[in-house]
Amino acid sequence: MVKPGRRPRAVRNPAKPGTGHQWVYLPDLAETIVQLIEHRPLPPLARFHMDGHWDPDGMQMAAAIGRALGVPEVPVRRLPWWMISLAAPFMPDLKELAEMKYLWELPLRLCNERLVATLGYEPHTPLDDAVRQTLASLGVPTSTPAEMAG
């Protein structure tokens, strides 16, 4: 959605307009895995899903990025899937991305009931904090909450 190392002029949204998408903050995922490993015994081949952050219209993540940048009305542009398809045969990363396009065209929401029943909770960083920390880790300059407050 943004390129590492520089402040974006626009956010690239891979989702089909109006299509919901689910996001998980990787440190929350890592914490969940650690908690599950430490929670013994687990049933063989147990599956656990996280709820993470549900974006019902595919625009909430872009809005969170705009807030983190201090530009609430950041332009949002569609990801040019046609260009990715053209380049995919020559670039393995883009080939893998093109194979996942279907996940951006249909809403898919996983249920975390089994995870919560097992652990009693799901690690969950608030969306704006997760986005701000992720952008900082990518070297994208953001606005701090104090700067945004005035």
pLDDT in tens, 19-55: 999 999 999 999 999 999 998 888 889 999 999 999 9
Predicted structure pTM score:
0.84
Structural domains of the chain sorted by starting position, each given as residue range(s) with its CATH number in brackets: 11-142 (3.40.50.720)
Residue 32 CA to residue 144 CA, distance in Å, equals: 27
Q: What would the pLDDT profile of 109-144 be if each residue is shown by its tens digit?
A: 999 999 999 999 999 999 999 999 999 999 998 876
Residue 45 CA to residue 38 CA, distance in Å, equals 16
Q: Is a pLDDT exceeding 60 seen at residue 14?
A: yes
User: Which tokens belong to 44?
Assistant: 């063989």
Torsion of CA 128, 104, 114, 24, to 10 degrees: -30
Beta strand 21-23 pairing with 11-13: unpaired
Q: List the structure tokens of 53.
A: 């952050």
Residue reference for tokens 């701090």 = 144
